[in-house]
Structure 1
Amino acid sequence: MLRRLKIFFAILTVCFSFSGIAQTYQLPAGKKFHKVKFELINNLMIIPVEVNGTELSFVLDSGVGTPILFNLSDQDSIQLNSVTEITINGLGKGDPINALKSTGNFVKLGSVKNVSQDIYVVMDAGINFSPDLGVPVHGIIGYELFRDFVVDINYTNKAIKFYNPDTYKHRISKKSRVLDMSVIRKKAYLNASVLVKGTEEVPVRLLMDTGSSDAVWLFEDDRLQIPQKYYEDFLGKGLAGDIYGKRTKIHHLKISDYILKDAKAAFPDMETFNTIMDFGGRNGSLGGEVLKRFNLVFDYANRKVVLKKNSNFNKMFQYNISGINLQHAGIRYVSERIADRNGIVYSDHKTYGDIQMVLQGATRLSVVPEIIVSGIRQGSPAHSAGLQEGDVILAVNGKPIHRYKMQEIMSMLNDNKDKKVKVLVERYNNDLLFSFVLKPLFE
Structure 2
Amino acid sequence: MPLAFCVMVRIGFLFLLFILLLPLPGLSQQLPFADSDTVYFRGNRKKITIPFKLVHNLIIIPVQINSSNSLNFILDSGVKHTLITKLFYTDSLDINNAREIEVKGLGTGYTIKALYSAGNRLVMPGIEGKNQQVYVLMEDVFNLSTRMGMPVHGIIGYDIFKNFIVKINYSSQELTLYRPDTKVKKHKRAEEYPLYIEQNKAYVYGKVSQHNGDTISVKLVIDTGASHTLSLYLPSHNKLALPPKVMQAYLGRGLSGDINGKIGRLNSFTLGKYELTNMPASYPDTEAIQAALNLSNRNGSLGSDVLKRFTVVLDYPHKRMMLVPNRKYKEPFQYNLAGFELTTPLPGTNFYVVSNVIDGSPAKLKGLMPGDQLINISGRDCTELDLNNVLKLMEGRPGSRLRMQLRRDSKLINVDLVLQSAI
Relative to the length of structure 1, the TM-score reads 0.85
Structure 2: distance between partners of 1:20 and 1:141: 17
Corresponding residue for residue 386 of structure 1: 367
**Where does 1:351-390 land on structure 2 (aligned, <5 Å)?**
368-390=349-371
> Contact conserved, 1:396 with 1:413, CA < 8 A, in 2?
no
Flag the structure with larger Rg: 1
Corresponding residue for residue 153 of structure 2: 138
Structure 1: distance between partners of 2:346 and 2:51: 28
**Where does 1:277-288 land on structure 2 (aligned, <5 Å)?**
278-288=294-304
* Letter matched to residue 325 of structure 1: E
Corresponding residue for residue 323 of structure 1: 339
> Are 1:257 and 2:273 matched, yes or no?
yes
Which of 428, 434, 439 aligns to 2:409? It is 428
Which of 38, 43, 46 aligns to 2:57? It is 43
> Contact conserved, 1:6 with 1:77, CA < 8 A, in 2?
yes
> Contact conserved, 2:167 with 2:175, CA < 8 A, in 1?
yes
Structure 2: distance between partners of 1:186 and 1:21: 14
The alpha carbon displacement at 1:74 in A equals: 3.8
Structure 1: distance between partners of 2:300 and 2:262: 14
Corresponding residue for residue 284 of structure 2: 268
Relative to the length of structure 2, the TM-score reads 0.89
* Letter matched to residue 404 of structure 1: L
The alpha carbon displacement at 1:369 in A equals: 4.0
Corresponding residue for residue 129 of structure 1: 144
Corresponding residue for residue 16 of structure 1: none
* Letter matched to residue 219 of structure 1: Y
The alpha carbon displacement at 1:40 in A equals: 0.6
Corresponding residue for residue 202 of structure 2: 188
**Where does 1:86-165 land on structure 2 (aligned, <5 Å)?**
86-165=101-180
Corresponding residue for residue 6 of structure 2: 6
Corresponding residue for residue 14 of structure 1: none
Structure 2: distance between partners of 1:177 and 1:250: 23
* Letter matched to residue 33 of structure 1: K
The alpha carbon displacement at 1:196 in A equals: 1.5
Structure 2: distance between partners of 1:288 and 1:441: 22
Structure 1: distance between partners of 2:255 and 2:270: 30
* Letter matched to residue 204 of structure 2: L
Which of 230, 235, 238 aligns to 1:216? It is 230
Which of 77, 82, 85 aligns to 1:67? It is 82
Where structure 2 has 5 or more consecutive residues not aligned to the other structure, the ranges are 8-32
Q: Which has the higher contact order (CA 8 A, sep 6+)?
A: 2
* Letter matched to residue 149 of structure 1: F
> Are 1:417 and 2:404 matched, yes or no?
no
Structure 2: distance between partners of 1:79 and 1:305: 36
Per-residue CA shift, 1:262-301, capped at 9, x if unaligned? Answer: 1121101111122336132211111110011111111112
Q: Name the SS for the 2:292 alignment partner.
A: coil
Structure 2: distance between partners of 1:277 and 1:247: 19
Where structure 1 has 5 or more consecutive residues not aligned to the other structure, the ranges are 8-18, 332-352, 354-367
> Contact conserved, 2:264 with 2:280, CA < 8 A, in 1?
yes
Corresponding residue for residue 308 of structure 1: 324
Identity %: 32
> Contact conserved, 1:190 with 1:207, CA < 8 A, in 2?
yes
* Letter matched to residue 88 of structure 1: V
> Contact conserved, 2:166 with 2:178, CA < 8 A, in 1?
yes
Per-residue CA shift, 1:143-192, capped at 9, x if unaligned? Answer: 011111111111111111111112x1132243111111101111100000
> Contact conserved, 1:218 with 1:285, CA < 8 A, in 2?
yes
Structure 1: distance between partners of 2:35 and 2:248: 48
Structure 2: distance between partners of 1:330 and 1:226: 38
Structure 2: distance between partners of 1:293 and 1:273: 27
> Contact conserved, 2:350 with 2:382, CA < 8 A, in 1?
no
Which of 57, 80, 85 aligns to 2:72? It is 57
